[in-house]
Structure formats: structure tokens, C-alpha cells
Structure 1
Amino acid sequence: MKVLLYPFSLLYGLVMWLRNRFYDKGLLTAVEFDIPVIAAGNLSVGGTGKTPHVEYMIRLLKDYYRVATLSRGYNRRSSGYILADAHSTAADIGDEPMQFHAKFPDISVCVGEERMLAIPQLLGDEPYTQVVLLDDAFQHRSVKPGMNIMITDYSRLFTRDHVVPFGRLREGRRGYHRADCIIVSKCPPHLSLSEKQALEKEINPLPHQRLFFTTLQYGALSDMMTHQPVEVPQPATVLLACGIARPEPLLNELKQRYDQVYLLSFPDHYYYTEKDIAKIKKECSDLPGTEKIVITTEKDAVRLQLLKGALAEQNLQIAVMPVEVSFLFGEAELFNNFIFDYIGRHLPAPGQ
């Protein structure tokens, strides 16, 4: 059946190719801004680990510059431009922006479908903003960022994929030419130098492009509501309840930590209902063993927190597993300098 989708993939790829050519030739207008704008995105549909990479850049920059993030706010229950405040929820601004807002309250977080309009609105609301991080904006070409970062999943490299619906690419593989930096994400933590070199040869970055490799690092569990550390007695039975594009890396991590791990999967960016809370409670209760715990992701947590009443009614404790990215082969400083060098062409260096 999938083969029957190939003609539609060719047609969609042609449409995207024409659209990109129109932007490349100036037939469609792309707006540039005077301040540093860094776009992080991917060629494929979801699941590349984009969010922890954006968080990495927030941590890198926020102590030196006034940083703002701008996202579309995918699957939110609102529309238009919104600047996050103390009353914002995942329903208002989307789960990923809400995650940024909750973890980094000292930066500006906003959402807007039309980024070329949202950036001036952001600068009007927060005129001292120095750096804007565009979340998931690789195909949003109406804004021309000063730096384009493209992230591709180690297990689903764009070089081995096809355009939707036959594959998972949002546009043809040659779209990677627009990137200033390519990151191969979710690599094995002990990726060998020989495999790195093979991947470099396969991706074949252009002379102006930098190529980095990252892996995921999972942290200590905390209670979803109180944010206090959670200790899990061993042996433990774990129910991973989550709605993310690719739960496999987290599932594998949990299987290394705990004796028995079960997955209860929901659609990506899913908004939970009270029935779902009851289902999670029952699934956990039915698992074998005496020590049981429900674990979810940070992205799911901001959506689950919309149902505080149902969680309290079910007396359901959920632990959150945080995740960060780590650069392989000791290249974190190279990436950091790459980012600071770009910003330094527009703004004074930190400390000056």
C-alpha cells in the first residue's frame, strides 16, 4: 500500500521545490531582522529531539543576552500572537512553548503562526530582546534567519528518507543546503569515530556547514506537581505514559534503570482527558509487582497539569523524566563558539 503513495510524494515534493525556488529567486519575500535570529528545525515530521536542543541554546545564552523564543504553538487551543505570562497554560501556547516558559521564566516565550508578524509584535512587547530563537521554523521561509540549524535523527537520517506521504520528509533532501549547522541527534552515547566519519561522508555537508553529533541524557525523576525528587524503590514496575512522536529512546533508558517497563502511548501533542487519567491509574494498578510508578515526559507534564483535579481525585502520582542533549566527541565548546561567533557579529561579546 505504501508504494501507492509514491506518486503523491513526488507531487508534494515538486510543490515544495517550487516554493523554495520562489524564495531563493526572490519571487516570494523573506523578511530579515536587525537582531540575531536563530532557527532550529528539521526536514522530517517530528521526533528529532528539537526541543532539548532549543533548551540547550537557552541555557547557553540566557545569562549573557536577553533571549526570546518564538514558536508556532502547535495544537494549542488558541490562535494569533500570544506572549506567555504567569497565567499561561499549554492550552494557550502549546506544550513545547509552555515547557520553555515553565523551565526558563527569565526569558520571553511567545507563539504566533505568522512569524514575520510575530517578531515585530514580540519586539514591541519586549524591546530589549537581543536574540530570538525560532522553534521549528526550518520550512517557515517568510523569515530569513541569520542562522539555520537543522536537526536529523540518527536512526532516521534525512539522507535515507523520502517526502511525505511515502516517507517523513517535509520537503526534498536538498533542503539541507539551507542549513548553516546540521546536528545528528539521538546518537548512541558511545558512537565510534569510524561511524562518525561514515555519517559525515553520507551527509556530505557543504563547505560552509558545520556538522555535530549529540546524544540524549536523562536526569533524575521529580514529582510532576510538587517538583520534589522522586526515589523509586527497587525492584520497580514502571508505566511510561506519554504522547510524543518517538518514545523509544526514553523507553530504552527506563528499561536500563528498572526491572519491568510498560508503555501506554498516546498521540503526539495529545491533550489528555479525565478518562485518560482514570485509564492511566487502572493500567498502573493492573501491572505486576508491589512497587509501581507512572513516568512521563516534560512535554506531557505541561499538558497533564491541565487536569489537576482529576489527578487529585484519582490520587495519581506521576514522575517526570527530564532530558538534555550532550555533544559527542568533546565538541560542545565548538558548537558554543559557533553560536557566540554568529551573535558577536551583531552584538558585543559577553562581558563587553
Structure 2
Amino acid sequence: MLKYLRLLLLPFNLVYALVIFVRNQLYDWGVFKSTSFDMPIICIGNLAVGGSGKTPTTEYLVRLLRNYKVAILSRGYGRVTKGFILADEHASAETIGDEPMQYYRKFKDITVAVCEDRVTGIKKLKDTHEVILLDDAYQHRKVKAGFNILLFEFDKLCNWQMLLPAGNLRETFSGVNRAQTVLVTKSPKVIDENSLNRFLKKLKLSGDQNLAFSHIGYQNLQALYSENQVELQKKQEVFLLTGIANPVPLCQYLTSKEVILHHFEYPDHHRFTEQEIKALIKAFEEHPAGQKIIVTTEKDGQRLLDAKLKDLLLNLPVYYLPINIEINAAEQAKFDQKILEYVASAK
């Protein structure tokens, strides 16, 4: 059904492509204004909609830049608020978005802020910070970031992709030209020469653009409402709750651990309702297995901190699975060095 719907949308791709082309040209020609700042601004983004790993990449940069005073500025997708907001003890996924909430809870020594107007947000942060990370702002060309990291998922980059609305690309591959580094996420730990040459041919990188690959590192399960950690057990019944763009790698990882999976899948950034959580709890409690747990992602877990949902789940074994990105060994030193050199020279 989805295949036929995409075919019906193909004529609109021409309109979308024209609009995006003209918009980018107007920025390139200086007709539309891009604001530069006299400080290190690093943008993390992608060309395709969906989960390419922006959140763990941003977290990697926070750790890499631990010797600097860092701020993360996000649009705050899915929040019910407007304008510039600094994350504080009163913040929630509803007020700042699930990804900024994850950053705020995980990194206590950095600033997390949201603002749909990135220029305004940077102006409010620049005097008290040394580096600003722009989360998901590659198409936000009102800001001219000094360093752009463009992400692609390994499997999707292997395949042919189309522009929106029939496909999932926000802009054409010519957008790669604005990136200083291209990071291919969810990759094998070692890239064979054929794959590397195919990607280089497709991306058409210039000599000063860097290409790196990363893979997902899964951590121990962390209790959502306490400090407990556990490990997965073989034959354990896992009730998986996700509202992310691409849960396939997570499902593959859990399956590799030989658990029995019951997947409750929802769209990216889905705001879980009490009825949906009650349906999950009902399935969990009615299952006769003795070894059973509820598992979600760290991002989805931020939305489960809502008071009403927390009351429903508090006495159940609810865990989230933390992940990080690990830059492949062959490229890590160069990837890190290029970013650190930029920050040192732009500061």
C-alpha cells in the first residue's frame, strides 16, 4: 500500500525539488541571509528524515569537548511550548522535547536549550559558552555553522533514495557539499573496500571533507525509575515499547540476545497515551512467564516520566537500553582531531 502511495506522490517531488533548489541557491548567493558567529558552532544533521543517530552523535561530541563550556541548542521537536527555554529542574519532554530532556538528565555540566529560531537561541547562549552544538539543524540555513557533521545510515546509503514526499530525503545529495565531515552511522565495525569505494563514488566528497563510520554500542539495561541495572537473559520475555524512527537495529540486537520479543511499536516522537500504556501493562501482566521485563529506548523513556504514565508503570520492571556511537577504529583519530582543531581555531 505504501509503495503505491509513494508512486502517487511522485509528481509532487518535482515541485518539492524545485522549491528546495531555489531556496538553497538563494542562500548560496546571499539573497537569503545566513548569520555567522564569532565562536565555534557545530551543526549535527542529516539529509533524510528519521533516525540517523543525531542524538548519540551529539552526546559523543559532548564527551569529546568535555574541556569546554558546551551548550546544546535544539528546536525541541514535539514540545507544546514556544520560544527560547533553558532546561531546568522543571523541564519535561512536553516542555522541551524528548531529546533535549535526555541531554539534560544525562549531562549535568552542560547547558541545554530549545528555540525554533536558532539565531535567537545562539545570541542568548554565546556570551556564556565556548561551543554550541546545533542538534538537527542542517537545513536551518539562517545560521552559518562553522562545522557541519552530516549523518547517513549505512543501510539507507546503500540503497537508492528519493526526495520527499515520495521518498525520505529532505534535500538532494548536493547538500553534502556543505558538510565538513560525513558520518555513516549504524555501520559494520570494519568497512570492506568495495563498500568504501561505493560510498565515496556516491557522496563525491572533496579533498578537505572527511568520511567516517560508526556503529552502535549497547549498554546494560538501566531501570527507568531507579538506579538499578540488569543484563538480558536468554529466553526472557521482553515487552519492547518504541516510538522511534527506525527500531530495526534495536530489534536485531535484542533478538541476537535470544530473548522472546513482544514489540509495541509507535511512530517517531509518539506521545504515549494512558490507554496505550494500559494495553502494554495488560499484555505484560497476563503473560504467564516468570522472567519478563518491559524495555524501551532512552529517548522514549523521557516521555514515560510523565506523572500519569509513571504512576501506571512505577511498580513494574521498566528499563531503557542506553546506546552510544563508537567511531570505527580506522577513522576515530581523524574524526576527533578535525573537530578539536576546528574548536581550538575558532574559539
* TM-score range relative to shorter protein: over 0.9
Please name the residue that 2:83 is paired with: 80
Distance (Å, rounded) in 1 between the aligned partners of 2:283 and 2:249: 22
Please name the residue that 2:330 is paired with: 330
Please name the residue that 1:35 is paired with: 39
- 1:160 CA displacement: 2.1
Cα 1:195/1:287, change in 2 over 3 Å: farther
- 1:159 CA displacement: 7.2
Cα 1:93/1:318, change in 2 over 3 Å: same
- For residues 296-329 of structure 1, the C-alpha deviation after alignment (integer angstroms, 9 at most, x for no partner) is 0000011101135654567322111000111114
**Unpaired segments of 5 or more residues in structure 2?**
none
- For residues 240-295 of structure 1, the C-alpha deviation after alignment (integer angstroms, 9 at most, x for no partner) is 10100000001100001133112110121111222222111122234463211111
- Give the alignment of 1:313-324 within 5 angstroms: 315-324=315-324
Question: Normalising to structure 2: TM-score of the pair?
Answer: 0.94
Report SS of the residue matched to 1:345.
helix
Distance (Å, rounded) in 2 between the aligned partners of 1:314 and 1:298: 16
Please name the residue that 2:290 is paired with: 290
Amino acid at match of 1:136: D
Distance (Å, rounded) in 2 between the aligned partners of 1:301 and 1:143: 31
Report SS of the residue matched to 2:212.
strand
Distance (Å, rounded) in 2 between the aligned partners of 1:86 and 1:310: 17
Question: How many pairs does the alignment contain?
Answer: 343
Please name the residue that 1:160 is paired with: 160
Distance (Å, rounded) in 2 between the aligned partners of 1:132 and 1:314: 36
Tell me whether 300-309 or 227-236 shows the greater mean CA deviation: 227-236
- 1:56 CA displacement: 0.3
Amino acid at match of 1:61: L
- 1:189 CA displacement: 3.0
Please name the residue that 1:99 is paired with: 102
Amino acid at match of 1:255: T
Please name the residue that 1:350 is paired with: none
- For residues 178-235 of structure 1, the C-alpha deviation after alignment (integer angstroms, 9 at most, x for no partner) is 1111111111234334322332233221222111111111100010011321244443
**Unpaired segments of 5 or more residues in structure 1?**
348-352
Amino acid at match of 1:3: L
Please name the residue that 1:117 is paired with: 120
Distance (Å, rounded) in 2 between the aligned partners of 1:131 and 1:295: 34
Runs of 4+ in 1 over 4 A off after TM superposition: none
Distance (Å, rounded) in 1 between the aligned partners of 2:196 and 2:235: 37
Please name the residue that 2:20 is paired with: 16
Amino acid at match of 1:6: L
Identity %: 39
Report SS of the residue matched to 2:83.
coil
Q: Does the 8 Å contact 2:176/2:203 carry over to 1?
A: no
Amino acid at match of 2:251: L
Distance (Å, rounded) in 2 between the aligned partners of 1:160 and 1:17: 20
Distance (Å, rounded) in 1 between the aligned partners of 2:269 and 2:338: 32
Distance (Å, rounded) in 1 between the aligned partners of 2:217 and 2:291: 25
- RMSD (Å), alpha carbons: 1.7
Match among 42, 63, 69 for residue 59 of structure 1: 63
The question of 1:47 aligning with 2:51 is answered yes
Cα 1:179/1:317, change in 2 over 3 Å: same
Question: Normalising to structure 1: TM-score of the pair?
Answer: 0.93
Report SS of the residue matched to 2:230.
coil
Distance (Å, rounded) in 1 between the aligned partners of 2:255 and 2:288: 16
Tell me whether 277-286 or 207-216 shows the greater mean CA deviation: 277-286
Report SS of the residue matched to 1:157.
helix
- 1:158 CA displacement: 8.4
Please name the residue that 2:340 is paired with: 340
Distance (Å, rounded) in 2 between the aligned partners of 1:221 and 1:110: 28
Distance (Å, rounded) in 2 between the aligned partners of 1:287 and 1:270: 25
Cα 1:93/1:314, change in 2 over 3 Å: closer
Cα 1:270/1:25, change in 2 over 3 Å: same
- For residues 106-163 of structure 1, the C-alpha deviation after alignment (integer angstroms, 9 at most, x for no partner) is 100000001011111223xxx3300000000000000000011110111112872111
Q: Does the 8 Å contact 1:219/1:322 carry over to 2?
A: yes
Report SS of the residue matched to 1:331.
helix
Q: Does the 8 Å contact 2:74/2:113 carry over to 1?
A: yes
Please name the residue that 1:246 is paired with: 246
Please name the residue that 2:71 is paired with: 68
